[in-house]
Structure 1
Amino acid sequence: MTRPDTAPVRPGEELPLDRLREALRGRVEGHADALTVEQFPGGFSNLTYLVRLGEREYVLRRAPLGPVAAKAHDMPREYRLLERVHPVLPVAPRPVLLVEDTEVLGAPFYLMERRRGTIVRTKLPPEYADLPGAPRQLSEALADTLADLHAVDIDAAGLRDLGKPEGFNGRQVQGWAGRWRRARTDDLPPPTELHDEDVIAWLTANVPPETAHALVHNDFKLDNLMLDPADPSRVVALLDWEMTTVGDPLVDLGLTLTYWTMPEQPGGAPNRVGANAPGFLSREDFLSRYAARRGQDVSGVAWYEVLGHFKLAVIVIQIYARYRAGQTKDPRFAPLGEQAAWLIGEAWRRIRDVGE
């Protein structure tokens, strides 16, 4: 049995139902007059809702409230990407309708098919409690899905124009460094104590050439997978495609390992899944599984792991900056400044480990 995965809409994030009803009427299957909306509670970025039109169900995605970074949270781009990715990688949900008229919800949004399954966040869910092999099975499913994503033929699928893979790694450092500096809040330690500028300098000085050109999800982690409640080895869906581009696949691997090896986060729940938890693939076993399925050398992954920690710190501080400015009142965002500082510290520790 799957757990309830939706909740009432959070205060301040309600949708104008009358305008939404008229925007959907006659454009998707279902009874618009029977419209109901709930909210998916997970995630810290885009707002995601369950839309019911009578017996028909859809997932609605729109950008977060308040000002957002340029080119971020681009729902039309995400919709058009899924149109091309879904036929060649079925774990990508099928998009259904794009609405670019900002008069409806205040920002462009799209509907996609709803898929049902289990999302594993910081602990093993009850449906897997009696499955002794579940931790290893879902670990392997995560590694295999990442390898399969990177195996997509970007030329045959018409996906190469999603990005500029040449020089991708250098642009990653420059872009994320700029975002960090713009979003950095005044309640963080100074750079000489936090070492954020030292991390940026090291990444810049050690940029590797791209190992390959592949589809890069850019936020690949366990809780962006939806799994079969009865079979943790079967992936039902891969979610959150907003940052997908074309570039070096090891950038994905580095960020995935960042999530996979994180212990308890400051201000957050203890992480009882991943490399530090019993029965799950270790960091080394995860790397071996991915490398064998993908057929790729991963010996230079340390730089990508440092970049992964830094990128996640940037994403976290951007959300925290919106919270500090009062653009969102979600209480889950309160400890994110501390979490960003912790991630920078972990990036700096890994740099020192490389130098030893």
Structure 2
Amino acid sequence: MIDQPKDIRKGEELDLDRLKAFLSDNLPEFSGEIAVSQFPSGFSNLTYLLKSGNREYVLRRPPFGANIKGGHDMSREFKVLSLLKPVYPKVPSPVLFCNDESVLGSEFYMMERVKGVILRGRPPKDINLSPDLMKSISEACIDNLAALHTMDIETSGLNSFGKPEGYTQRQVEGWIRRYHKAETDELGSMNAVTKWLEEHLPKQEHVSFIHNDYKYDNLVLNPDNLSEITAVLDWEMSTVGNPLMDLGTSLAYWAQADDSEALKPFSLTWLPGNLNRAQFADRYGERTGFDLKNLVYYYAFGAFKIGVIIQQIYARYKKGLTQDARFANLIYAVKACGVNAAKAIEKDKI
């Protein structure tokens, strides 16, 4: 049941000699020996399991060939975890940050390993994801997002991570620029959505600390009670900003049974029992008290944004910067994101 790593993918190996030397100098409990494996899922930062004696750590570093200071700032992610841990216990404890790129070719950081079940694209073996169980997991997922968005950010110091004024406009303009920069195919739906997003920008009414990539495969579930979330992972895009944009992204990841098959490998939210997107939004609104009158806008933005993220990965694959075979057909997922956004705009519902 526990999420397990696998062999390291070709081209993503770590220099163990340099890593061991660094840990010997900077990690007091390091035993001198190390075994490394890699968590196979995820499309952004690379995640490895390090075993040293009876201790286990998770190491995070940017993907090879990526723009390191774009969406892969290891220093920032480490600082976020350090400030979050005292006020939001559902994050791994940060252990060590390395800014010496001569060790692994980039900055990286280490954190404690939180063992548990992670719902990825395929149901875990030996677990019966019954409708009742999926309903309770989906409710816990929504409630936890609402709790994050209503957390006090002033006393924790998290308010220093981001500029909430004008956040919505900057995000819309920024993701549109990223899309055009990474564009490899002309997709009518994606281009139509960019125009609509620019013309219908809503007024920002709320400010929260937001995750920006909140979905099932970033949640660690308690193996003894799968309805309990023990940790939230992958805070690389977290910031202070408009929580409804975070909600929109999560809703866009929330594939339903009637969605394109290209979107279903990214989530198990389409399984029977899960609340649907409309029920998700209703429960979130009840828990936060936020006005969701512009929900279609935020959902369309979320779908577009996910499409851009996938497009960026696909563009790296097309340029030969990564050999990961999983990326070869990602263009179909980009198309599906554009179609979902355009459909929501046309029908005025998510």
State the TM bucket, normalised to the shorter chain.
over 0.9
Give the one of 247, 256, 260 matched to 2:250: 256
Cα distance in structure 2, aligned partners of 1:81 and 1:9? 27
Q: 1:272 to 1:242 in 2, by over 3 A?
A: closer
Cα distance in structure 2, aligned partners of 1:317 and 1:123? 23
Structure 1: 5+ residue runs without aligned partners? none
Q: 1:150 to 1:267 in 2, by over 3 A?
A: closer
Are the equivalent residues in 2 in contact too, given 1:144–1:290 (CA < 8 A)?
A: yes
Runs in 1 of length 4+ with deviation above 6 angstroms?
none
> What's the offset of the Cα at 1:254?
0.6
Q: 1:300 to 1:130 in 2, by over 3 A?
A: closer
Are the equivalent residues in 2 in contact too, given 1:92–1:237 (CA < 8 A)?
A: yes
> What's the offset of the Cα at 1:71?
2.7
SS in 1 for 2:26: coil
Give the match for residue 99 of structure 1. Answer: 98
After superposition, residues 199-210 of structure 1 pair within 5 angstroms as 199-210=193-204
Q: TM-score, normalised by structure 1?
A: 0.93
Deviates more, 1:280-289 or 1:160-169: 280-289
**In the TM superposition, what whole-angstrom CA distance separates every residue of 1:261-302 from its partner, at most 9, and x where no partner exists?**
35565557657732x431111222212221222222223211
Give the match for residue 22 of structure 1. Answer: 21
Cα distance in structure 2, aligned partners of 1:284 and 1:352? 16
Deviates more, 1:343-352 or 1:93-102: 343-352
Give the match for residue 308 of structure 1. Answer: 302
Give the one of 313, 316, 332 matched to 1:319: 313
After superposition, residues 181-330 of structure 1 pair within 5 angstroms as 181-185=180-184, 188=185, 190-191=186-187, 194-263=188-257, 273-274=268-269, 276-330=270-324
2:48 partner letter: Y
**In the TM superposition, what whole-angstrom CA distance separates every residue of 1:163-211 from its partner, at most 9, and x where no partner exists?**
11111111111000000000001xx2x35xx232221111011111112
Cα distance in structure 2, aligned partners of 1:50 and 1:324? 29
Q: Percent identity?
A: 42
Are the equivalent residues in 2 in contact too, given 1:45–1:64 (CA < 8 A)?
A: yes
Are the equivalent residues in 1 in contact too, given 2:206–2:243 (CA < 8 A)?
A: yes
Give the match for residue 339 of structure 1. Answer: 333
Cα distance in structure 2, aligned partners of 1:124 and 1:216? 27
Are the equivalent residues in 1 in contact too, given 2:123–2:129 (CA < 8 A)?
A: no
Are the equivalent residues in 2 in contact too, given 1:21–1:32 (CA < 8 A)?
A: no
| Mapped pair 1:72 → 2:67 | no
Deviates more, 1:288-297 or 1:127-136: 127-136
SS in 1 for 2:97: strand
1:273 partner letter: L
**In the TM superposition, what whole-angstrom CA distance separates every residue of 1:76-115 from its partner, at most 9, and x where no partner exists?**
0100111101111111111110000000000000000100
2:12 partner letter: E
Structure 2: 5+ residue runs without aligned partners? none
After superposition, residues 20-169 of structure 1 pair within 5 angstroms as 20-68=19-67, 70-129=69-128, 133-169=132-168
Deviates more, 1:331-340 or 1:106-115: 331-340
1:16 partner letter: D
Q: 1:303 to 1:110 in 2, by over 3 A?
A: same
Aligned length: 348
Q: TM-score, normalised by structure 2?
A: 0.94
2:204 partner letter: E
> What's the offset of the Cα at 1:46?
0.4
Are the equivalent residues in 2 in contact too, given 1:51–1:60 (CA < 8 A)?
A: yes
